[in-house]
Each structure stands twice: as C-alpha cells, then as structure tokens.
Amino acid sequence: MSAYGIDGETAENHPDIEKQWAVVAFHHAETYGNLIKNFNPQKLRLTKEEDTLYAAFRASFPKLNVQVLNEYTDFKCDEAKAAWRAWIKPFETTVPDFNFATMLRIRANEDYSGDNAFLVTRVQFYAIEIARNREGANQPMWKDYHQEEAASR
C-alpha cells in the first residue's frame, strides 16, 4: 500500500493518468536534452544525491555499457528487473520522485527520438545519465550541438 492508499500490485492503469505521465516524461526529456546540448555534461549536476547514486550504480552495475543500452537485457528481463529493484530500494526515501516515469535515451550520442528512448524510473534515469556525464558519453551531443551552432553563424 502506498502513501496515497493505493495498492500498486492491484491498481488499474487509467488512460488519462497515463497521458499525463507521458506529457511529464516528454517535458523532462526535452528539458534534459537541452541541458546536455547547452552545458558541458561533465560539469552538470543532476541531483544532490549524485555522488551516492553514481557510486552505488557502478558498484552494482560495473560493466553496464551506458554508451548504448539494451532495453531488454539491461532493464526489462527478469534478471535485470530484480537487480534494479534491489538497487532502487535504498533510494526510495532519499531521491524525490524516484519512481516517476522518465524517458531514457538508448544511444548516448543521439537526441531523444521514437527509436532512441524508452521509459524507466527517475532514479534509473539519474543512474545512467550521471554515469554518462561523468564518463564522457554525453560529450558528443554537447560538442556536436556547439559545432552546428558555430557553423550556422
């Protein structure tokens, strides 16, 4: 039972609520896409929990390739779901909106698009994007955007 008196295991999906979640997820994706184009991603801080999230992520998923994700093997298969559930649990009380639906890019060097995004929880988004920022995977997006801007002047 959640804090809102809703049992997540038996609750039904309501189309209007799903649409609202999709709008919020799209807005978040649009905002984040603009951030990594306009600000050096390696200097970007996404949350005050960033150091803790990154350390925990790499301790639990040391070999996960954040450059190019596989939605099924990295997130959706039974083994991945179990690993992520265990990883997320400690952050339920420390990361605001930890379970909000959030769009995550599959390929770090490309912008959001229909074939380059899928939904994850907010805390999973943080884990991947913090790793991408710190490990340089988002640098091509930033550099490409600035080269295009300079060329158009």
What pLDDT digit, counting tens, does each position of 15-60 carry?
A: 666 677 777 888 888 888 889 988 999 999 999 999 999 999 999 9
Fold of 15-151: yst0336 like fold (1.10.3560)
CA distance 48 to 30: 21
User: pTM (2 decimals)?
Assistant: 0.83
55 phi and psi angles, rounded to 5 deg: -60, -45
Q: Which residues contact 99 (CB under 8 A, 6 or more apart)?
A: 88, 92, 121, 122, 123
What pLDDT digit, counting tens, does each position of 99-114 carry?
A: 988 999 999 999 999 9
Show me where the domains of the chain are located. Answer: 15-151
Q: Which of 9-13, 64-68, 106-110 has the lowest mean pLDDT?
A: 9-13
